[in-house]
Chain A
Amino acid sequence: MMHIFCPYCGELREEEEFHAKGQAHIERPIEPEACSDAEWGDYLFFRNNPRGIHHELWIHAVGCRKYFNITRHTVTYEILETYRMGEQPGITAETLAAEQLAQSAAASAASSTTQQTGDARP
């Protein structure tokens, strides 16, 4: 059972207090009549099912009744952040990948530095 931080209540609460409402950041087209059937079908029916980072809409149903977003890992169930409606996620699959890339680059740079230092020793 997950432990979820409600960004409005400002507290960690038990999962039982919340309802999951699917993928976050699905915007209703402003002019539905201007959408093709395919576009409208995409909006209605098509959702991501990632193995990894997912942005989800939740409601603190038996708490403050506020909707908010969760960035969650669908395999580990790790909750990386929760944020209010209207806000954008601070962590995405892309930022995590970039971070990992930067870390491995830093690691390889560090190891080559060590080698150079080693070479410089008498």
Chain B
Amino acid sequence: MTETRTPSRRTSSGGRINRETSLNFTFNGKRYQGLAGDTLASALMANGVDVLNASFKYARPRGLVAAGAEEPNAILQLGSTESGQVPNVRATQQALYDGLEAHAVSGWVKSQKDLMSRFLPQVGKLGGKFMPPGFYYKTFMAPASLWMTYEKYIRKAAGLGRSPLENDPDIYDHLHQHTDVLVIGSGPAGLLAALVAARSGARVILCDEQEELGGSLLSMSGDCLDQTLDGQPASEWRDAVLAELAACDDVLLLPRTTANGYHDHNFVTLHERRTEHQADIAPVNSRGARQARSRLHRVRAHRVIMATGAHERPLVYSHNDVPGNMIAGAVTTYLTRFGVAAGDKLVLSVNNDHAYRAALAWKAAGRDVVAIADARSAPSGALVEAARAAGIRIITGAAVIEARGDRRVTGARVAAIDIDGFKVTGEVEELVCDTIASSGGYSPVVHLAAHTGARPVWSDEVHGFLPALGAPMLKGFDACGAANGSFSLEDVLVAAYASGVAAVEACEYPVADTIVPAVSALVEAPMLPLYQVPHDKPTARAPKQFVDLQNDVTAAGIELATREGFESIEHVKRYTAMGFGTDQGKLGNVNGMAVAARCLGQTIPDTGTTVFRPNYTPVTFGAIVGRHCGALFDPMRYTAMQEWHVAQGAKFEDVGQWKRPWYYPQGSEDMHAAVERECLAVREKVGVLDASTLGKIDITGRDAREFLNRIYTNAWAKLAVGKARYGLMCHDDGMVMDDGVTTCLAEDHFLMTTTTGGAAAILEWMELWHQTEWPELDVQMTSVTDHWATLTVTGPEARALVGELTDIDLDRDNFKFMEVREGMIADIPGRIFRISFTGELSYELNVPANYGQYVWETLFAKGEKYGLTPYGTETMHVLRAEKGFIIVGQDTDGSMTPEDLGMQWCVGYNKPYSWIGKRALTRPDTRRDDRKQMIGLIPRRKKAGDERIVLQEGAQIVFDPDHAIPMPMVGHVTSSYYSPTLGHGFALAVVKGGSARIGETVFLPQADGSTLEAEITAPVFYDKKGARQNV
């Protein structure tokens, strides 16, 4: 039976919730009810759910501490379906909706026990108590070989939540925004700054991570202690400003939108959650379209104003992690905004005036304030007086030193303390309560200002870090309000006005008349710095005092780190994991530094500063990826004949972004069978390859020939019009980078081909030389890869077949090898190149791409009687390797010279210009005899069936298989196939000094312990004289 009980912690009135609309939800499978306007956190609190999670390392029960992004414990798994699972959701940031299902993240406890019992049985028995900081590092760093084994258990143990196992049905959008002023945070500071900018005519984006815009104004309950703005209650001023902003055309208001990352040059990523307050999967609209679940706004702003407010720091006292321990401001927010009291009997422990609001609101809600422990000896501000007037007991010069209770606070131990002497000075008083709220002051939320590396600066006035405004990394970036250390409402508004005006002036708009609203007076006395509260036992022996609740870092752990010599706060953080992961040090960072500073006997700024990294709060992968998933993950490039290939059942291979036919299986053929058939068809009859993807660069200009002379290793001076030549390209270090055939179409017009993958880079490379070194050369380059469809017709029957399509004279003496002709091909004007990458008689037909499929189909209409067979890239690889033709990037790796490849024939040693790569070929390193050189390998066949041995590409080669391990490795296999033409396997490989070792045997040790043998041969296996292409 499901249990639904009347929320007992709900106050009778007040708050921004709708008490008429109740919503059903479940937590850990149990049903509850909340109200419209609740967050998941406030609804859980209203239902009296105290324990929400078990802690990361010690498995201690944990409940709500905060009401916003800084919440360290209530990080839950959301989702009612498998595909809708979302990990790492802060209950404080999740609006309640009907049907919401949430779960605690509990899998880690089991994983952790698993880990311990597997690897450290003695630790496992003792349990988590004996896991000091640095435990993982110390235990698992050695032996390194076991790291792989440990890792998966550690990862599981460290995990918070899980990703869905099914595909995400939601869609996510990316928007690119340009704006004059981006205002982050919509409290009083953000609202006023945005108003000044908007009234002055600037384009403004105002974003805020909460469900409603208004920030701290939303937590002002409207009672007599709240200040008024221009005589209005805070909420009315907020409503009026928002209404005015909403009416401006050039203002974009983005609630539920977190500024997660501040990047170089005022580039900010905003994560707008559009439907997460409605369901775990986005609703479908009336037209049947699913709404975008979230938008990632990529904003380039002329000015950024950070008005992100401050996070209250809890005090660090013993057992401050037991559910019922909260920060004071959260207690106030739950009461005033959500109409929920965290409990019945409150003890407040503070060092400042502002936190007194919690006690006043608590009392106003009809609850019992047991006492306020104020660390100051004579607190005196207006709020303090109000508490006194309300009859609340104030214990001065004192603090809560320890919480009582296990799964819920049952009491507080309060004592007088000496902060400078770091000791308890008086008798400890035991108070009975169910809630302890603490406040140790306020840390400006400076995270964004630190994302580009500008380290925040400590302020002794604010007792916190401030953004390093003025740093070069923060050009065009401003901060105001509590985010910049202004805490009183008057100061906040004055600073916000100034920020707004500065932004407007920077954007060169005339500043419109706007006045700073007049604020009713409220006198606050200064705070007294207090971070870790002394206990009656020393820190190392006192009950645990938590600094970072999310990562289970204690004051004693930090003390241990400093004792072990970790003096820089960055090292302490790595040692203890403080501020790691999704927490990013929101609550614990300053307290942790204060503890380290105390242990080291120095100040907080002496201890260091702090760095924050994006993202401020977790962002789902969906939002980051946007539409770039599935078919849109990466652009796909198809040739003009794609439809035909698909219809023929081709299997495709990715080459860069191109989809190339890999092989064309017939019937039940596997790849090997298909490739053997395709290879034999080319060698015996005729085949056709779609070679359209080869890079094609059109080169024109008076100096085009000279340009080629400088870029290529070989000579181009005498290449006649109508002739083609193979060329090699090197980097200036002499290493081969690309190859291809270039044709002279006219004295000042060449067509270069490049490898499929290299086309864009080669164009950029040639532009580099033209624009930076040789601007005087008259040469222009244009990519024409996509303009042409290329059909490579190859095999003994190629001439007869092509002759049926073209008016070009194909006579062997009139149209020679390495020549080009223009004419009609299947009635389409085109070019034919007589070049061969298979060693067979070949014609490469080039027609304008839009006619590609037509010409291809016409070729097949004529080709049947010749046995025309389409072949893919795999067959192309086998055929070219049989001829020893290299593929740059497969047989080369950026460390091969033309000479290493045995291609001295392609090097113009005597060309007048010292071409790119030439000088490097005479460096001592490139002249070594023992460089790895390209050779052929044929596996030694010792028994029947060994002709099927195909060496593994990448396999290492040794000269002496009996050498002790580690064996000297002398080379590796670069290309390896079975040749149906030869009837056995063969390979291209590189071997040290290989070209002088033809006929010798090398060895290839295998993973299974066996060793293969192969004979070094010349890297040409078929038709060594090259007769077949010249028929």
Contact = CB atoms under 8 A, between A and B. Distances in A.
B182 to A, nearest CB: 14
Contact of A85 (B471, B732, B771, B924): B771
B773 A76 contact: no
B144 to A, nearest CB: 30
Given A3-B300, A77-B264, A78-B475, A59 B764 contact: yes
Contacts of A1: 263-265, 267
B733 interface: yes
Interface residues of B, number: 27
Contacts of B471: 76
B923 A41 contact: yes
A29 B471 CA distance: 40
Contact of A3 (B265, B453, B773, B923): B265
Interface in B727-761: 732-733
Contacts of A2: 264-265
A6 to B, nearest CB: 13
Contacts of A28: 732, 773
Given A33-B919, A77-B473, A59 B768 contact: yes
A50 B772 CA distance: 23
A40 B733 CA distance: 9
A57 interface: yes
Nearest to B769: A28
A47 interface: no
A24 to B, nearest CB: 9
Nearest to A57: B772
A32 interface: yes
A45 to B, nearest CB: 8
B472 interface: yes
Nearest to A68: B771
Interface string B766-777: 011001110100
Contacts of B975: none
B998 interface: no
A87 interface: no
Contact of B452 (A3, A77, A85): A77
B918 interface: yes
Nearest to A2: B264
Interface in B591-628: none
Contacts of A3: 264-267, 300
A105 interface: no
Given A33-B919, A35-B919, A61-B764, A76 B265 contact: no
Given A1-B263, A2-B265, A61-B764, A76 B453 contact: yes
Given A2-B264, A75-B453, A40 B919 contact: yes
Contacts of A78: 472-473, 475
Contacts of B923: 37, 40-41
B387 interface: no
Interface in B891-925: 914, 918-920, 923-924
B767 A86 contact: no
A35 B263 CA distance: 44
A37 B923 CA distance: 6
Given A32-B914, A44-B732, A67 B771 contact: yes
A97 B266 CA distance: 27
Interface in B768-824: 768, 771-773, 775
Contacts of A61: 764
A19 B764 contact: yes
A40 B767 contact: no
B771 A66 contact: yes
Interface in A83-111: 85-86
Nearest to A24: B772
Contacts of B263: 1
A59 B769 CA distance: 12
Contacts of B300: 3, 14
A122 to B, nearest CB: 38
Contact of B914 (A31, A43, A77, A86): A31
B297 to A, nearest CB: 14
A19 B763 CA distance: 13
A65 B771 CA distance: 10
A44 B732 CA distance: 7
A64 B391 CA distance: 75
B768 A67 contact: yes
B570 to A, nearest CB: 17
Contacts of B266: 3
Given A33-B914, A40-B919, A76-B473, A65 B767 contact: yes
A98 B453 CA distance: 26
Nearest to B265: A3
A84 B624 CA distance: 35
A28 B919 CA distance: 11
Contacts of B914: 31-33
A31 B267 CA distance: 45
B345 to A, nearest CB: 52
Contacts of B732: 28, 43-44
B180 to A, nearest CB: 14
B917 to A, nearest CB: 10
Contacts of A40: 919-920, 923
**Looking at A31, A40, A79, which has the most chain B CB atoms within 10 Å of its CB?**
A40
Contacts of A31: 914
B767 A67 contact: yes
Nearest to B731: A44
Nearest to B913: A32
Contacts of A35: 919
Interface in B263-321: 263-267, 300
B940 to A, nearest CB: 41
Nearest to B918: A32
A32 B767 contact: no
A75 B454 CA distance: 10
A69 to B, nearest CB: 10
B590 to A, nearest CB: 26
A74 B197 CA distance: 33
Contacts of A66: 771
B360 to A, nearest CB: 46
A17 B473 CA distance: 22
Contacts of B772: 57, 67, 85
B264 A85 contact: no
**Looking at B264, B767, B768, which has the most chain A CB atoms within 10 Å of its CB?**
B264
A49 B919 CA distance: 25
Contacts of B764: 19, 59, 61, 65
B775 A86 contact: yes
Interface string A10-41: 00001000010100000110011101010011
Contacts of B452: 76-77
A57 B923 CA distance: 27
A76 B920 contact: no
Contacts of B920: 40, 44
A21 B768 contact: yes
A73 B920 CA distance: 33
A59 B767 contact: yes
A44 B733 contact: yes
A40 B919 CA distance: 8
Nearest to A37: B923
A82 B420 CA distance: 55
A73 B472 contact: yes
Nearest to A3: B265
Contacts of B924: 37
Contact of B472 (A45, A59, A76, A85): A76
Interface in B458-473: 471-473
**Looking at B733, B771, B773, B924, which has the most chain A CB atoms within 10 Å of its CB?**
B771
Contacts of A65: 764, 767
9 contacts: A1-B267, A2-B265, A32-B914, A32-B918, A35-B919, A37-B923, A40-B923, A67-B767, A67-B772
Given A78-B473, A78-B475, 6 more contacts: A19-B764, A27-B773, A31-B914, A33-B919, A44-B732, A75-B453
| 7 A-B pairs closest in CB distance | A32-B919, A76-B472, A3-B265, A32-B914, A67-B771, A77-B264, A78-B472
